[in-house]
Structure 1
Amino acid sequence: MLKLGHVLNDRGSKYAVSGCDARDRAEVDAALKDLKRDKSYAKATHNTWAVLLSDGGPLKGDDGESGAGMVIVRMLEREGLEDHLIVVTRWYGGKHLGGDRFRHVQTCVRAYLDQLAA
């Protein structure tokens, strides 16, 4: 799994992004379990994720960050990136971010996609 670590901070919340190849739900579950073996990721408030399966369509998990999984799905669709799981992790900093949280998810996914292209 490629982990970019902390991508940005806002009002105490910290965001990170990770990802790997995943061709089915079993591989998604295994990757999420592997990520959460890292204690800091296991203690995160949210591990939001999405993947476009070439033979099953989109899968997503908001992990309490309502709507964030769909943001990742839309970005994967625009990129045409299939069979690749992206996880955006947030450690809540005590202040609600409102709509900014969606922009932060986009920023994290964009940083990950840029890293993949490099």
Structure 2
Amino acid sequence: MTTPRMHPDTIAAPVTRELVVKKSRFIAHLVPVRSVAEAEEVIASVRRQYWDARHNCTAMVTGVNGDQARSSDDGEPSGTAGIPMLEVLRRRGLTDVVAVVTRYFGGVKLGAGGLIRAYSTAVSEALDDAVLLHRRELLEARVDVPHADAGRIDNALRDWAATHGASFGDVAYGAAATFALWIPQAAREELADDLAALSAGSLSPVYGTTRIVDVPGDRT
């Protein structure tokens, strides 16, 4: 059996979290993005909103395999902000996410070690509030169902997807109701067997192509 290729996860929705360290406020903004250009737009938006802050430091990882990364210290001592933020994203195994940490200086210098801890902690604690999307290479499975049975099969397939690492896709209505699922390759025989059991052998899936699909997960 071929082991499915694993890809970095991403986050489902933006998250904001504030940390106070020796009177300095660190406001972490995490946003899912699809490209470097989109990440740059997020950074510009945060900088406009928090124009009066001392620093808006950034880190991003993009690409299906997380192969593009950038960071900026935005005036903090070199290596004390952007890179520590980036390392947190890498350590959590994430991609297609941008982190911006806004700092309002509280009058007490933190030193290089204190800054590294503050910026990395701000991102880490924000990620603790985030919901993951798992990136999986899944196989398309389509099932044609008579309209009379569509409601029952709809519920059964949604439950099946939720317990098999699959994603329930679109439903098309024509001569029959056509359900689309994206399933792990290893589950194709199990889906066929379960459909047969649900329908006294009258239903079977038709398999198509594979693609990368975001599957909802738990908090990071």
TM-score (norm 1): 0.85
Identify which of structures 1 and 2 has the higher relative contact order when contacts are C-alpha pairs closer than 8 Å and 6+ apart.
1
Aligned mate of 1:21, from 32, 44, 49 = 32
Q: Give the drift of 1:9.
A: 1.9
Query: What corresponds to 1:48 in structure 2?
Result: 57
Paired letter, 2:56: N
Residue 3 of structure 1 and its aligned partner are, at CA, apart by 4.9
TM-score by length of 2: 0.48
* Matched AA of 1:72: M
Instruction: State yes or no: 1:60 paired with 2:75.
Output: no
| Mapping for residues 30-109 of structure 1, pairs under 5 Å | 30-38=41-49, 41-54=50-63, 56-65=67-76, 66-67=78-79, 68-98=81-111, 99-109=113-123
Please list every run of 5 or more consecutive structure 1 residues that lacks an aligned counterpart in the other structure. none
Q: Which structure has more helix as a fraction of its residues?
A: 1
8 Å Cα contact 2:47-2:56 kept in structure 1? no
In structure 2, stretches of 5+ residues that fail to align are: 1-12, 132-218
| Residue aligned with 1:23, SS | coil
Over aligned residues, Cα RMSD in angstroms?
1.8
Query: Deviations along 1:61-111, whole A, 9 cap, x unmatched?
Result: 110122111111111111110010011111112221011111111211111
Larger radius of gyration: 2
Query: Percent identity, aligned pairs only?
Result: 33
- Whole-Å separation in 1 of the counterparts to 2:102 and 2:120: 12
